[in-house]
Amino acid sequence: MTMLITGANRGIGAELLRQATARGIRALGTSRSKDAALLPLDVTNPASVASLATHMEGTPLDLLVCNAGVFPDRGQSLDSGYPAEMWADGFAANVTGVFLCIQAFLPHLQRAKTPKIAIISSQMASHTRAPGGNYIYRASKAAALNLGRNLASDLKDDGIAVGIYHPGWVQTDMGGGEADITVEASATGLLDRFEALSVETTGCFETWDGRAHAY
């Protein structure tokens, strides 16, 4: 089994890579910064995405984990913050980057026996949770959720399963030290969710610990 995890240089991505390798999975991770242990990939750069897909040409890909993302909202105020460039950069990483990776690696997924795509979204994507604030992150993760749901419909006949996941409020640089769960617990739960994902459950929106999440 071959797994590709975007944004694996830190946080949840790094822990997914570590635990997947420990489970005996051939796990490959990416980073947009130079790291000899990771494949170079900037999901916001179409040329970078195409380059990695070409580099891996002919490799069957059993699981693509779209984990790379940004949380640009900290310190922004409604009356004077959230500049247009911040919206563009946020959506480029959290939405367009997800689509570009899935599009580029479709041929690799189609070579696998039971291909899967996992999109790391957030409970903040749910329209049932709207306490305000964090507008770019919430909107982009909601778009990623919508993207995953529609891709699940389009790719089902190809035998490609798509799952969308809330990783929990995790103790990472993004989640902060006051978050609910450790990165180790989140990654363990997510890997279990990826294993359980199938064409029969494609389009699911689940939490790291296996609960169905409201859209």
Residue 108 belongs to domain with CATH number: 3.40.50.720
Say how far apart CA 190 and CA 198 lie, in whole Å: 14
- Is residue 92 pLDDT above 90, yes or no? yes
Give Cβ neighbours of residue 6 (< 8 Å, ≥ 6 apart): 13, 29, 30, 41, 43, 65, 66, 67, 68, 97, 101
Whether 214 is in a domain gets the answer no
pLDDT at residue 162, rounded to an integer: 98
Say how far apart CA 137 and CA 20 lie, in whole Å: 27
Whether 132 is in a domain gets the answer yes
Whether 213 is in a domain gets the answer no
8 Å CB contact between 160 and 111: no
At 12-26, the pLDDT tens digits run 999 999 999 999 999
Say how far apart CA 25 and CA 146 lie, in whole Å: 29
Count of beta carbons in the 10 Å neighbourhood of residue 123: 17
Partners of 165 in beta bridges: 120, 206
pTM of the model: 0.94
At 80-91, the pLDDT tens digits run 999 999 999 999
pLDDT at residue 171, rounded to an integer: 72
- Domain residues for the domain of 112 are 2-207
At 94-151, the pLDDT tens digits run 999 999 999 999 999 999 999 999 999 998 888 777 788 899 999 999 999 999 999 9
Backbone angles phi, psi at 117, to 5 degrees: -125, 130
- Is residue 41 pLDDT above 90, yes or no? yes
Query: Which whole number is the average pLDDT over 73-78?
Result: 92
Whether 212 is in a domain gets the answer no
Give Cβ neighbours of residue 157 (< 8 Å, ≥ 6 apart): none
Task: Choose between 10 and 168: higher pLDDT.
Answer: 10
8 Å CB contact between 215 and 126: yes
Whether 143 is in a domain gets the answer yes
Count of domains for the chain: 1
Confidence of residue 175 (pLDDT cuts 50, 70, 90): low
pLDDT at residue 177, rounded to an integer: 65
pLDDT at residue 109, rounded to an integer: 98
Strands (E) located in 83-134? 116-120
pLDDT at residue 103, rounded to an integer: 98
Whether 37 is in a domain gets the answer yes
- Burial grade of 207 (CB within 10 A; 0-12, 13-18, 19 or more): middle
Query: Which whole number is the average pLDDT over 35-63?
Result: 97
Least confident residue range of 39-43, 131-135, 161-165: 131-135
Confidence of residue 174 (pLDDT cuts 50, 70, 90): low
Whether 193 is in a domain gets the answer yes
pLDDT above 70 covers what percent of the chain?
97
Whether 215 is in a domain gets the answer no
Pair of tokens at residue 101: 């990776």
Closest-CA residue to 66 (of 20, 112, 103): 103
Say how far apart CA 159 and CA 140 lie, in whole Å: 27
Query: Which whole number is the average pLDDT over 22-39?
Result: 95
Backbone angles phi, psi at 76, to 5 degrees: -90, 140
Say how far apart CA 208 and CA 12 lie, in whole Å: 11
